[in-house]
Amino acid sequence: KNVVILISGRGSNMQSIVNANIIGAKIVAVISNRPDAGGLAWAQERGIATAVLNHRDFDNREAFDAQLQQVIDAYQPDLVVLAGFMRILTANFCLHYQNRMLNIHPSLLPSFKGLHTHQAAIDAGCKLAGCTVHFVTPELDHGPIISQGAVPILPDDSADDLAARILTVEHQLYPQAVADFVTGRLSVQDGKVINAQPT
């Protein structure tokens, strides 16, 4: 199955997926909205096709997303993976990739959608935090949940401490979700995740 990964930054989740060498998953492209995304060079060094589509070159979100969709579709993806892609996506774009686009979010959804999730969880006095892999729907950080991992919040944690602890779990859950999707074990029907057990 063809997999396109979208990034905006260092791309450590992208790296975890590439490094997992998932049987049946071909990473056909890594696409960034930021020319300076660190993950681009990493992908290029491994011979993965990369593309940059700078959102600043577009007048509005619709125009950017329409062009992004064209760039992605040139790679004929079976699955689109948002891996630290820091753009809010239009409904049209989300619906085009309905049931075949995943996101990872560094909180235990439905708590702490959006940005600054780690500090928000600390400020709320939570004892646990974590990450969520979900199918993407037009509503931000809201689609059907595939998997979650939890970590403790320790008394003197900074947001960075917590982010690092959660990131190690992200790097386990995201490759697993991609592997489950490409083998057909994971799908979504009528807004509900179907997670067939491996036989």
Among 1, 2, 10, 55, binds ligand GRF (CB under 6 A): 10
Asked if residue 86 belongs to a known ligand binding site, the reply is yes
The answer to whether 136 and 105 are in contact (CB under 8 A) is: no
Write down the least CB distance from residue 157 to ligand GRF, Å: 15
Stretch that binds ligand GRF, among 3-11, 50-58, 119-127, 186-194 (CB under 6 A): 3-11
Stretch that binds ligand GRF, among 49-57, 100-108, 134-142, 188-196 (CB under 6 A): 100-108
Torsion angle of C-alpha atoms 15, 118, 130, 167, degrees rounded to 10: 20
105 among known catalytic residues: yes
Triad 157, 158, 164: Cα angle to 5°: 85
- Which amino acid does the sequence have at 38? G
Q: Residue 142, interface with ligand GRF (CB under 6 A)?
A: no
77 cis-preceded (ω within 30 degrees of 0): no
Write down the least CB distance from residue 83 to ligand GRF, Å: 5
Q: End-to-end alpha-carbon separation of the chain, Å?
A: 20
Among 3, 4, 12, 79, binds ligand GRF (CB under 6 A): 12
Q: Which amino acids are annotated catalytic?
A: 105
